[in-house]
Amino acid sequence: MTIETEVVVIGSGPGGYVAAIRAAQLGKKVAIIEKEYIGGVCLNVGCIPSKAMITAAHKYNDVKEYEQFGLNVPEITFDWDKVQAFRANAVEQLTDGVEYLLNGNNIEIVRGTARFEDEHTLSIESEEGQKTLKFEDCIIATGSRPRDIPPVRFSDRIVSSTEVLSFPERPDSLIVIGGGVIGIELATVYANFGTKVTVLEGQKNILPGTNRKLTNVVQRKLKEKGVEIVTNAMVNGSQEEADGVTVTAEVKGKTEEYKADYVMLSIGRVVNTDDIGIEKAGVELDEYGLVKVDEQARTNKPHIYAIGDIIAGPQLAHKASYEAKIAAEAIAGMDSTIAYKCMPSVVYSEPEIAVTGVTSDEVKAQKLDAIQSSFQYAGNGRAIAMAETAGYVNLISDKATGKVIGCEIVGANASDLINELSLAIEKELTVEDIAMTVHPHPTLGEIIMETAEIAADKPIHVVKK
């Protein structure tokens, strides 16, 4: 069977399905190929299910602290099957929604594994047999998969975040190898549900690459939950047994052993460019296996594009979606280019961390002439009323112009607050612009305004020194 189309998209994650829809909106005949599940990793075993689990765990843990509000709650328990059902329902709603959108835009959904035969042909292995697809333009959006390491390979009890999200029973103990974003988020989930969690991180701090002041706030909270955090821990072996796993690690010159029911590996991801026959299409990769692209996400083959995890930059769903629209518009002949001034990122820890634009570490490393202004959550009325006073906002502005160039937030709802700052950076707004924008009271958003007032040298709720 041979399928012919104008545009084919390989992969239906947040990059792939957005690219397909945008190309169809622009009048192209589009097919999208998915080998596993519509919505990709993000919707099925990543962003969405993890946030559902984070929400469930956070609400369960919150009830334990209701006494401070004068609320006496009897002993609370949880039903793990219902927790998992909540996660699965969130996934189902969104994946069904994506499939509805694809069908509504007359996009042909092809199930199977795609590999290039040449620069205009794909072979597709599916349950219905072998198919051939001929295309004019192609967008590769194949994403990435969890990485393991020689001392610790995936097995029944050594698993990735995919399996951890859908454990049939809550484990009594869990070792998390890798204290990055995924590791810390899921360590928080299971600690909230009462699992004894140990985090082994090879570098000197958790969340490597994030400012130490931000991570310290999160680390304190994790320790309050009973999470054991071991940094500078170089894992060098594992032994799987019937009832658990023992992991050995070199820590401060000594070999230490850690035992748990399960081990979750969260040490990064491998890009999916190694099994799609990309060499047959003549598409160039860099030394890391990433696809080389230009400012329109176009590869060295002018009719083949690549987006998301498989190209340079942070592996973020919203980055993939942004690039998807650029690639689709380029195929349609538009002059759209990848030109974002900032790429916000969030850690859904407790409290959350959100960063956009230039960071405080970059200011120091690059010796930028910038002003950094901070305001604590503890000085905000809404934060006090919510009993969410841990954290702060650090606003970074250009000293000469007053333009906002970056922001770091650690605290409740940081993931929502960061959007105002990303808009400010993109539109080259100044701290004066933010300071003079009326923010409703009482809201956490006032912390942004207060920080901007400090930067503009006219603070109201801070005593000038």
The domains spanning 158-267 and 344-456 adopt the same CATH topology: no
51 is in an annotated binding site: yes
- Give residue 142's pLDDT: 99
- Give residue 410's pLDDT: 99
- Give residue 377's pLDDT: 99
Rounded average pLDDT over 54-74: 94
At a CB cut-off of 8 Å and minimum separation 6, what does 254 contact? none
pLDDT tier at 1, thresholds 50, 70, 90: confident
pLDDT tier at 77, thresholds 50, 70, 90: very high
Any idea where the domains of the chain sit in the sequence?
2-145+270-332, 158-267, 344-456
Q: pTM of the predicted model, to two decimals? A: 0.97
Angle (nearest 5°) at CA 260 between 258 and 264: 95
- Give residue 464's pLDDT: 81
181 is in an annotated binding site: yes
- Give residue 360's pLDDT: 98
Q: Give the side-chain half-sphere CA count within 13 A for 61.
A: 20
Residue 165's nearest CA partner among 22, 49, 1 is: 49
Cβ atoms of 136 and 120 closer than 8 Å = yes
109 is in an annotated binding site: no
- Give residue 198's pLDDT: 99
Rounded average pLDDT over 9-19: 99
360-395 pLDDT tens trace: 999 999 999 999 999 999 999 999 999 999 999 999
- Give residue 447's pLDDT: 99
137-161 pLDDT tens trace: 999 999 999 999 999 999 999 999 9
Residues assigned a catalytic role: 441
- Give residue 162's pLDDT: 97
Rounded average pLDDT over 407-414: 99
Rounded average pLDDT over 70-85: 95
332-360 pLDDT tens trace: 999 999 999 999 999 999 999 999 999 99
Average pLDDT along the chain: 98
At a CB cut-off of 8 Å and minimum separation 6, what does 236 contact? 151, 248, 249, 250, 255
pLDDT tier at 278, thresholds 50, 70, 90: very high
CATH of domain 344-456: 3.30.390.30
Burial of 108 (0-12, 13-18, 19+ CB in 10 A): middle
Q: List, in sequence order, every residue forming a beta bridge with 111; answer none if it has no partner.
A: 34
11 is in an annotated binding site: no
248 is in an annotated binding site: no
At a CB cut-off of 8 Å and minimum separation 6, what does 283 contact? 119, 140, 291, 299, 300, 301, 304, 306
180 is in an annotated binding site: yes
172 is in an annotated binding site: no
Residue 323 has pLDDT above 90, yes or no: yes
- Give residue 465's pLDDT: 74
Angle (nearest 5°) at CA 282 between 277 and 286: 85
Q: Which residues of 401-430 are buried (b: 16+ CB within 10 A; e: fewer)?
A: ebbbbbbbbbbbbbbebbebbbebbeeebb
409 is in an annotated binding site: no
Q: What percentage of the chain carries pLDDT values higher than 90?
A: 97
Cβ atoms of 331 and 23 closer than 8 Å = yes
- Give residue 8's pLDDT: 99
Burial of 464 (0-12, 13-18, 19+ CB in 10 A): exposed
158-267: CATH superfamily = FAD/NAD(P)-binding domain (3.50.50.60)
CATH topology for the 2-145+270-332 domain: FAD/NAD(P)-binding domain (3.50.50)
**129/120 Cα distance (integer angstroms):** 20
144 is in an annotated binding site: yes
